Amino acid sequence: MQFPGPGKNETTSAGQTHLTEPLAVRLLLITLALGFLSLFLFVPLAAVFAQAFEKGGGAYLAAITDPEALAAVKLTLLAAGISVPLNLVFGVAAAWTIAKFEFPGKSLLVTLIDLPFSISPVISGLIFVLIFGLHGWVGEWLFEHDIEVLFAVPAIVLATVFVTFPFVARELIPLMQSPGKDEEEAALVLGAGGFTTFIRVTLPNIKWGVLYGVILCNARAMGEFGAVSVVSGHIRGLTNTMPLHVEILYNEYNFAAAFAVASLLALLALVTVGLKSLTEWRMREGR
Amino acid sequence: MFLTSRRKNIIPGFGLTFGYTVLYLSIIVLIPLSAIFISTASLSWQDFWAAVRSPRVLASYRLTFGASLVAALVNAVFGLLTAWVLVRYRLPGKRIFDALVDLPFALPTAVAGITLASVYAPNGWIGRFLEPLGIKVAYTPLGVVVAMIFIGLPFVVRTVQPVLEELEKDVEEAAACLGANRLQTFTRVVFPALFPSLLTGFALAFARGVGEYGSIIFIAGNMPMVSEITPLLIITKLEQYDYAGATAIAAVMLGASFLVLFTVNVIQWWSRQYTER
C-alpha cells in the first residue's frame, strides 16, 4: 500500500494534474479548513493566554501562587500520580492477556475495557455518589466508622481512575497483538524466564506505545472536570482540583485569575499534544 | 489447557494477567457501574417514568441530542475537509495544524468552556463580529452547539485521516483515465471508500457531545427549558438530594450511549464486510 518516493500523499507536483483539484479549488478548501480550525481551535487557544496575562505578570503570578491554587495543583498531581501508575499496570496486564492468549469472551473483555469512554463524565461521578453517599451502598457504614470517601480525596482519586481507565490498555492491545508472539516464544525456548522475556523482548517493542498511553492518561487525569466535580463537594483548599479551582474563580467573576490557572492546564495540553505527535512519529519510524 | 493453533502456548503469565485484568476491571468499572442499574431497578415504574418524562427533562433531551446532532454534522463536513487538506495538500506548518487537531482531547473541558464562553460572548474576540449580524452564541442553545463542535472536532478528522492516507492512488488514476472528471472521481470513487470511517467519526462525535458537561455549562447559560443540557440536570437533581431522579435520567443517557456504541460496532463490522468483498 506504499507509494514510492518521498511525499507519497502529495499530488501537487506537475504532471499529475488529473489527480488533484484546480488551484482555485485547493485554495478555497485550504481556506475553509483553516478558517474552521481558527474559529474553534486557534482563536480560543490564543484567548486563554491573552486573558491570563490581561492584568499583567504580577497578577498572573499572584493567581497561580495563591495558597488555594497551590492546594489545587497538589491535589491534581496526587490524583494523576495515583491513577496513571494503576492504569499503566492494568494496561500492560490486560494487553498481555489479550494479545498473547486465546480465550472465550475476549472481544467482550475488550469492549468492557473501553466502557468508561462511552459514559458521560457526570454519570461516572454519579456512580460513586450512589455507592459512597449517605444513602448509598456503604454510606451508612462509612459514616458510623467516621471514614470520609465522598466529598473527600478518595472519591476524587477513584473517579479519576475510572475515567482514565482504558487509556493505556487500548493503546497497548493492538500494539502487542500485531507482532504476534514469535519473538517471546523464541526467547522462552532459549531459556529466558517470563519476566526477562517481558523486559528484554516485549518492552522494547511497546515502549513508545506505553509512553503514548501514559501521556494521554495523564492529560485526562489532570484535566477531568465532570466526574470529579460531582464527587468533590467543592471544598476550597481541600477537595478542589485545578479544573474545579478554575470554575470557582470564573464563577466569582475573577476572570484573570481563572484564566491564569487555566493557562497552566492549557500549557499541559500543548505539551501533551506535542509529545503525542513526537511518539507517533517515533512509532512510525520504529516500524 | 489453552491451545492456540493446535500447539501448546508456552508464553507464561496467563493466570496472573487474566486474573488481575478481570479483578481490576470489576473493582474499578463493573461493580461501580452496576450501582446505576441496581438503583434504577429499585425505583417503581411510575417514579421512573415521571422522572424521565417531566417537561424540563424532555426539553433537556431535545437540546442535548439536537445540538449533538447538529455539531456532529458540522464536524462531519469540516472534519472531512480538514482531513483532506491535511493528507492531500502541501501546506506550511501542516505538522503543527495536524498536532493541534488533538487539542480538544488534551485540553481540560473546563478550560475549553470558559475560553469558548469568553471568545463567543457579545464583547469577545469572535462574538463582537457576530453581534452586529444579530447572531448570539454565548448563553444560547447555539453556544451549546459551538462547545460540542469543539469537543467533537478530532473524532471525524482522526477516523477519516488514516483511511485517506491508505487509499490507493491507482483507483483515482484509473477513474481519471476512464474519463471521469475530478468531482466525479471524488463522489464516485473516493467518497464511498471514506464513507464508513466518516460515519464512525460522526457517531463518535455525536456520542461525545451527548455526554459532554464541562465545556458546555460555561457557554450555555443553563436556562431551564431553553439551554439546560441533560448532564447538568443530573447534577441539579443530585444537589437537591433527588437521587432517584438523577439515577433515572442517568439510566436513560447510559442506554442512549450504549445504543451509539452498538451502532459504531455495526458500522465497523459492515465496513469490514464491504472492504473484504
What is the full per-residue pLDDT of chain B (277 aa) written as tens digits?
444 445 578 888 899 999 999 999 999 999 999 999 899 988 899 989 998 999 999 999 999 999 999 999 999 999 999 999 999 998 898 999 999 999 999 999 999 999 999 999 999 999 999 999 999 999 999 999 999 999 999 999 999 999 999 988 888 888 888 888 888 888 888 999 899 999 999 999 999 999 999 999 999 989 999 999 999 999 999 988 888 999 999 999 999 988 988 888 888 888 777 666 5
| Same domain? A19 vs A130 | no
Give me chain A's average pLDDT, please: 89
CA–CA gap between residue B69 and residue B216 (Å, rounded): 15
Q: What is the CATH number of the domain that holds A281?
A: 1.10.3720.10
Q: End of a domain among A52, A73, A93? A: A52
Among candidate residues B158, B267, B271, the one with its CA nearest the CA of residue B205: B158
| Same domain? B176 vs B205 | yes
Judged by a CB distance cut-off of 8 A, whether residue A47 touches chain B is yes
| Same domain? A26 vs A119 | no
DSSP, collapsed to helix, strand or coil, labels residue A148 as coil
| Same domain? B116 vs B253 | yes
Instruction: Specify the pTM.
Output: 0.90
| Same domain? A210 vs A75 | yes
Judged by a CB distance cut-off of 8 A, whether residue A199 touches chain B is no
The per-residue pLDDT for A286 is 67
Q: What is the CATH number of the domain that holds B183?
A: 1.10.3720.10
| Same domain? A215 vs A101 | yes
| Same domain? A124 vs A155 | yes
Judged by a CB distance cut-off of 8 A, whether residue A244 touches chain B is yes
Total structural domains in chain A?
Answer: 2
The per-residue pLDDT for B273 is 79
For the record, the C-alpha cell of B245 comes out as: 431522579
Interface test with B, best of A123, A188, A196, A277 (most B CBs within 10 A): A123
CA–CA gap between residue B10 and residue B30 (Å, rounded): 31
| Same domain? A44 vs A85 | no
CA–CA gap between residue B116 and residue A185 (Å, rounded): 53
Domain membership of residue B8 as a residue range: 1-42
| Same domain? A29 vs A65 | no
B212 and A120: CB-CB below 8 Å? yes
For the record, the C-alpha cell of B208 comes out as: 461525545
| Same domain? B14 vs B63 | no
The per-residue pLDDT for A16 is 53
For the record, the C-alpha cell of B64 comes out as: 442535548
**Buried-exposed string A136-160: b where 16+ CB fall within 10 A, e elsewhere:** bbebeebeeeeeebbbbbbbbbbbb
Compute CA distances B263 → A116, B64, B201, B222, B256, whole Å: 17, 19, 12, 30, 11
| Same domain? B201 vs B268 | yes
| Same domain? B121 vs B220 | yes
Judged by a CB distance cut-off of 8 A, whether residue A2 touches chain B is no
Residues 6+ apart with CB under 8 A from B148: B67, B68, B70, B71, B72, B208, B209, B212, B216
Largest CA distance in chain A: 80
CA–CA gap between residue A123 and residue A120 (Å, rounded): 5
- Which among A40, A112, A162 is the nearest to B149, CB-wise? A40
Domain membership of residue A126 as a residue range: 56-286
| Same domain? B15 vs B72 | no
Radius of gyration of chain A (CA): 24
Judged by a CB distance cut-off of 8 A, whether residue A131 touches chain B is yes
pLDDT at residue A9 tops 70: no
Total structural domains in chain B?
Answer: 2
- Which among A21, A161, A223 is the nearest to B109, CB-wise? A223
CA–CA gap between residue A154 and residue A136 (Å, rounded): 16
| Same domain? A222 vs A96 | yes
| Same domain? B109 vs B236 | yes
| Same domain? B139 vs B57 | yes
The minimum CA-CA distance between B159 and chain A, rounded to whole Å, is: 15
| B218 neighbourhood in chain A, CB within 8 Å | 247, 250
Judged by a CB distance cut-off of 8 A, whether residue A254 touches chain B is no
| Same domain? B245 vs B110 | yes
pLDDT one-digit tens code per residue, A97-155: 999 999 999 989 998 999 998 899 999 999 999 999 888 888 889 989 999 889 999 99
Residue B32 contacts residue A127 (beta carbons within 8 Å): yes
pLDDT one-digit tens code per residue, A216-269: 999 999 999 999 999 998 777 788 999 999 999 999 999 999 999 999 999 999
Judged by a CB distance cut-off of 8 A, whether residue A171 touches chain B is no
| Same domain? B9 vs B145 | no
| Same domain? B2 vs B55 | no
The per-residue pLDDT for A1 is 37
| Same domain? A96 vs A142 | yes
| Same domain? B115 vs B246 | yes
Judged by a CB distance cut-off of 8 A, whether residue A184 touches chain B is yes
Percentage, residues of chain A above pLDDT 70: 93
pLDDT at residue A28 tops 60: yes
Sign for the pseudo-dihedral over CA of A162, B148, B151, A258: negative
Residue B234 contacts residue A123 (beta carbons within 8 Å): yes
| Same domain? A130 vs A258 | yes
| Same domain? A33 vs A73 | no
pLDDT one-digit tens code per residue, A72-98: 999 999 999 999 999 999 999 999 999
| Same domain? A66 vs A148 | yes
The minimum CA-CA distance between A268 and chain B, rounded to whole Å, is: 8
| A128 neighbourhood in chain B, CB within 8 Å | 32
